[in-house]
Structure 1
Amino acid sequence: MNAADTAFILISSALVMLMTPGLALFYGGLVRSKNVLSTVMHSFILIGLVSVLWAVLGYSLAFGKNLGGIFGGLEFAFLNGVGMGVEGSPAPTIPHLAFMIFQCMFAVITPALISGAFAERMKFAGFLVFSVLWLLLVYCPMAYWVWGGGWMQQMGALDFAGGAVVHMSSGSAALVVAILLGKRKGHGHTPFIPHNLPMTVLGAGILWFGWFGFNAGSALAANEVAANAFVTTHMAAAAASVAWILVEWLHNGKPTTLGAASGAVAGLVAITPGAGFVTPGASLVIGALGGAACYGGIFLKHKFGYDDALDVVGVHGVGGTLGALLTGVFASVNAQGLFAGNPKQLWIQLVSVLATWVFCGAMSAVLFKVVDVTIGMRPSEEDEVRGLDISQHSETGYQL
């Protein structure tokens, strides 16, 4: 056991945990005031719900021994055998408990990301049941395939901190749920204006801050790879924020605060799969391309007619996909991509991208239909018009 590595991972775990309240603020500021608490609740409640599920079953399914090639085994259920020593830990220099809690924070934020797509129009009960099923039957298999010894890891797919496991999986689910749930009441002729952009910018800042734990911590040690991931993370976010507002300025004639915040998040998403595999110079390119591509990605919903309320598909789906493919191009640190003389890596990345979108999308559709048929996913039209804060939680965000 290494004390420095252990301290670094515990601090990184705390940073990743802070990202989910940051996401709550980011999303909460983007909706109308009558739905701010319900939107914040989607993220905040998952800190509790997913943490319990992770301890009871999720961690074992994601990182236990092979169970039919799809899941990990059940030997770590209820954290049995997950102790204070390094025995059984996938990271050889930190306690098994430290690795488990670090991965728990990833599991917490991923279903919370999906909630931006269906903001302002989902029943809270349906949300809870869908999130439980999605975590166990979509997130856990993905984590096992990519990080737990599953087929994607064996194939050689590069995903340093969750391009597939976190961002593409949530983006794929967001697209499916947005389509199946239908558009918000008044969509297309009623303006949906963000009620508190300062809240959103604060949330983006917290996400940027926490992302250092997300990416640098994924080195699983306080070493040179963590330092590289820290720098590439920051540079990609910075480049993407600038690129987004430049493209927006040229397209719309004005740079917006929301654009700067969204661009930073887009860059963070794009660099996630390659943070520990590319150089800082390459991260500037990935960030800039990610900011520009995700700005274009937010217009896909207008072209194809689905209501992705807070642009989960355009930012996390597009950014995660682009980042995974560019990792196959620019990887040169501890892995070799196209520009380092290994064109095969780009093909491996493409296979992993397609498999992630198909699996996560199909499973999300099945789970949505099951929950919708049993307890329902959408509130009544009257409840939606009143606002979900009142109709789902008997609260209001503001007393003005």
Structure 2
Amino acid sequence: MDQGNTAFILIAAALVLLMTPGLAFFYGGLVKAKSVISMMMMSFGALGLIGVLWVLYGYAIAFPGSSGTLGPWSIDGAAVGLTSVLEPAEGATYPPLAFVAFQATFAIITVALVSGAIADRAKFGAWMIFAGVWATVVYFPVASWVFNFGLADDGSFEYGGWITHGLQDVFGVGAIDFAGGTAVHINAGAAALALALVLGKRVGFQKGVHVPHNPPFVLLGAGLLWFGWFGFNAGSELAADNTAALAFVNTIAAPAAALLAWLLVEKIKDGKPTSVGAASGAVAGLVAITPACGSLDPVWAIVLGLIAGAVCALAIELKYKLGFDDSLDVVGIHLVGGLIGTLYLGFFARDTGLFMGGDASQLIVQAIAAFAVLGYSFVVAFVIGFAIEKTIGFRVKNEDEIAGIDTVVHGEAGYVLEDAKA
């Protein structure tokens, strides 16, 4: 048992878990003051619910070993309740429960990301139902498509999902997704678009009407996300080695470049660089580098960051042109950024990218992976959200939305400036 790598994985898991409270602050600062509790509670609700479901059966679906297939999903019955992974196999380099914990945090943050598209207008109970069903039939199986590893007796990996191992059998190279560009960001972004369409626009939706109520919260959240993202990306190597160090450096370089690119676009478009733009640019760069962090030289990571920051800064305007209300730009940042990072590998991945000594095969498999996840997540999320809306209702009443839904849904106010009983 390698205690150093075990500690590395456990620390990385703790860092990734911190990302969900960080996301709560990031999203919470972007909504209006009377909806901040509702927004943050959707992240914390996902943390509680998905944490439980992961232990009960999520891991068994996401990591069914050699039984993993295209779908709809497979399950390892022996891993239900984590029964089969309580003790490490002889020769394993770290306890399987360390990997279970690490991957649990991925499931939690992915579900929480979706909530940003329905800010200011969603019922908490309906959101929790959606979160549980979507995680079960979308995130857990898609994680299997991408990450489905099995541990051999000697501690090495075997098996692999159809997106990685399966495509390699056909094209000679598998899709590269080092830390979750497809399974996390494209997946969440596609579901966010579906829910935005199901719930419809906020009352008075138009450019400039809904402004962030607390930019310092947004910056704090972005900082916590960036800090946790080192565990997300470097930790995905599952070993404290040179590849983890490369992923770590790229997780500095790409978001830093994206931050600058976003601010430059803002300056050119609107005349002023903003704090929210700086935070959003950093997150866009983090999203884009996620699938690519272990497969790019740092200079190419900077180029990726510049592209992602500029394109995502422009992409968030699409909701006004196309008429869908993605409240907190989950589509413009996570879906678009995830697509950019995933497809970019087809050109610049070490050794296999089109411009790095490879041929078009890497680009083809990257595109197949990206759009398969996008299509599956969008369709299933739309069906789940539509069913909830037409049965128990997903959206609050218009008058509650206008007044702010914190007191209606949670009986709390985000800011109490004086004692009402005084």
Q: TM-score, normalised by structure 1?
A: 0.96
Q: Would the alpha carbon gap of residues 250 and 370 (structure 1) be closer, same or farther in structure 2, given more than 3 Å must change?
A: same
Shift of 1:64: 1.4
Structure 1: state its 5+ residue gaps: none
Residues 68 and 145, structure 2, Cα contact 8 Å, conserved in 1: no
What does residue 390 of structure 1 align with?
Answer: 407
Q: CA deviation at 1:130?
A: 0.3
Give the 3-state SS of the residue equivalent to 1:339 in structure 2: coil
- Checking the alignment, whether the CA contact within 8 Å between 2:197 and 2:325 is kept in structure 1 is yes
Tell whether 2:336 aligns with 1:336. no
Match for residue 125 of structure 1? Answer: 125
Give runs of aligned pairs for residues 1-400 of structure 1, distance below 5 A.
Answer: 1-65=1-65, 66=67, 69-70=70-71, 71-73=73-75, 74-86=77-89, 92-148=92-148, 149-153=160-164, 154-155=166-167, 156-188=174-206, 191-332=209-350, 336-343=352-359, 344-400=361-417
Alpha-carbon distance, 1:147 to partner: 1.0
Cα distance in 1 between the residues matched to 2:113 and 2:188: 6
Q: What's 2:157 paired with?
A: none
Distance in 2 between residues matched to 1:375 and 1:386, nearest whole Å: 22
| Percent identical residues | 50
Deviation at 1:229, TM superposition (A): 0.3
Counterpart-to-counterpart distance in 1, 2:307 and 2:222: 19
- Which structure 2 residue ranges, 5 or more long, are not aligned? 149-159, 168-173, 418-422
Cα distance in 1 for residues equivalent to 2:235 and 2:28: 27
The aligned counterpart of 2:171 is: none
* Residues 393 and 253 (structure 1), Cα distance of their counterparts in 2 relative to 1, 3 Å cut: same
Q: CA shift at 1:398, angstroms?
A: 0.6
User: For residues 276 and 87 of structure 2, what CA distance do their matches in structure 1 show?
Assistant: 43
Q: Residues 190, 292 of structure 1: CA spacing in aligned structure 2 closer, same or farther, 3 A cutoff?
A: closer
Most deviating of 244-253 and 335-344: 335-344
Distance 1:189 1:110, change over 3 A: closer
With normalisation by structure 2, the TM-score equals 0.91
CA contact (8 A) 1:18 1:206 kept: yes
* Secondary structure of 2:117's aligned partner: coil
Secondary structure in 1 aligned to 2:116?
A: coil
Instruction: Check 1:190–1:242 CA distance in 2 against 1; reply closer, same or farther (3 A cut).
Output: closer
**CA RMSD for the aligned pairs?**
1.4
For residues 8-60 of structure 1, what are the alpha-carbon distances to aligned partners after superposition, in whole Å with 9 as ceiling and x for unaligned? 00000000000000000000001000000000001012111111000001110
Separation in structure 1 between the aligned mates of residue 139 and residue 410 of structure 2, nearest angstrom: 28
Given residue 43 of structure 1, which amino acid in structure 2 is its aligned partner?
Answer: S
Contact 1:86–1:93, Cα closer than 8 Å, also in 2: no
